Amino acid sequence: MTQSVAVVTGASRGLGAAVVLALVTRGWHVVAVARTVGGLEDLDDRCKASGAQDGALTLAPMDITDEAAMQHLCRALYDRWGRVDLWAHMAIHAAPLSPVPHLDMKDWDRSYATNTRATAVLIGYVAPLLAGSATGTALFVDDPRGGDRFFGAYGATKSAQIALARSWQSESAKIGPRVLIEPVSPMPTALRARFFPGEDRTPLSDPNAEAARLIDLL
């Protein structure tokens, strides 16, 4: 049987890293994309410690806002496998909370570039790879913060990301690929800590459990 191939963007920490771990322990080959080399190396160590097979993980230290790099990556994926069975898009930029009149435009620009524009670019690059798989699936995580107080930059750009995904989902319903857009329970991730510092993390969900639940949907 041909090994299933996944690409996880935003793979070095939090839910993205947990999704990678869930996939490699189930026999997938995963291409893990993230900006932080140290985070990817730590992820590699965690995958090996989990009992993943040698060669189950390919590390791709890249910035998803670098369109030339993403184009090169997708071409390399096509040349090696001719397809991708799963794209799990976990990459996100969490701008500091701020009243809308005081938004820092550098944070706004980075939020738009990462959360919205890069998503649109990647959909265009990855869609043909998913079309090469009989089970091609794109997975997005919803986090409905649009309109919440002080979440202007994150809420607006994340909402735009999910709007793109929902349009793609509707357009692909009959012809594929499958597009899944799933909410997740609050988790003790670095992303959430940035928004809710000092929060009691005891009742929050384990990212590994949430990742397993998402992979079970496949």
Q: Which architecture characterizes domain 5-216 according to CATH?
A: 3-Layer(aba) Sandwich (3.40)
Quote the pLDDT of residue 72: 98
The whole model's pTM is what? 0.95
pLDDT digits (tens, 9 = 90+) for 99-120: 999 999 999 999 999 999 999 9
> Beta strands 86-89 and 57-61: pairing type?
unpaired
SS3 content of the chain, % helix, strand, coil (to 5): 50, 15, 35
Helix (H, G, I), strand (E, B) or coil at 50: coil
Quote the pLDDT of residue 51: 85
Quote the pLDDT of residue 211: 97
Q: Is the dihedral of CA 18, 161, 205, 177 positive or negative?
A: negative
- pLDDT for residue 1 is more than 80: no
Sheet of 86-89: strand order equals: 57-61, 29-34, 5-9, 86-89, 137-142, 178-183
What DSSP string runs through 145-184? Answer: -TT-TTBHHHHHHHHHHHHHHHHHHHHHTTTS-EEEEEE-
The HSE-up count of residue 102 (CA atoms within 13 Å, CB side) is 7
Quote the pLDDT of residue 141: 97
pLDDT digits (tens, 9 = 90+) for 60-81: 999 999 999 999 999 999 999 9
How many Å apart are CA 51 and CA 26, to the nearest integer? 10
Q: Where are the alpha helices (DSSP H) in 14-151?
A: 14-24, 37-49, 67-81, 105-111, 118-131
Give the pLDDT mean for 210-215: 96
- pLDDT for residue 130 is more than 70: yes
In this prediction, residue 42 has a pLDDT band, given cuts at 50, 70 and 90, of very high
Give the pLDDT mean for 86-93: 97
How many Å apart are CA 191 and CA 13, to the nearest integer? 10
- pLDDT for residue 32 is more than 80: yes
